[in-house]
Amino acid sequence: MIRVCPSCGAKNRVPPSRLHKHPKCGRCGEPLVFDAPVEVGEAEFDALVSEASIPVLVDFWAPWCGPCRAVAPELARLAKEKAGKVLVAKVNTDQAPRVARRFDITGIPALLLFRNGNVVERVSGAMPAAAIAQRFGL
């Protein structure tokens, strides 16, 4: 995953397997905090959820879905509050239909929590950040 350093603007490549190690910017040493949802495509999906060293909460969404737009700021809040503890990822089901099919996504938004590549919990529908955290035990 590429993370732009908030301090110096350098692009850093952070392997998902090092997410728990408090990654720092290679140029200036500033901590690289994944405190916002990251977009994940079909090509990166499997590697991310299987290699990530922290749980990954995946939001399956689409641009035309109203409840998805409603839950987006809640997920952004959760990503900020739980940075370093959980990675919030977003999968656009229009662009990644095969991933959506593999995980039986029939309605969106659908939130799936992955640990070590396995789905450990899933819920459908929009809800506030606090309710999401409680539902997934984050």
Residues that bind Zn ion (CB under 5 A): 5, 7-8, 10, 25, 27-28, 30
Q: How far is the CB of 34 from Zn ion (least distance, A)?
A: 15
Residue placing its CB nearer to Zn ion in the complex, 3 or 69: 3
Q: How many CA atoms lie within 13 A of 111 on its CB side?
A: 25
26 contacts: CB under 8 Å, gap ≥ 6: 10, 12
Active site residues: 65, 68
Residue placing its CB nearer to Zn ion in the complex, 15 or 125: 15
Q: How far is the CB of 120 from Zn ion (least distance, A)?
A: 34
Residue placing its CB nearer to Zn ion in the complex, 7 or 116: 7
Residue 41: how many CB atoms within 10 A of its CB? 12
Q: For the chain, how big is the Rg over CA atoms in Å?
A: 15
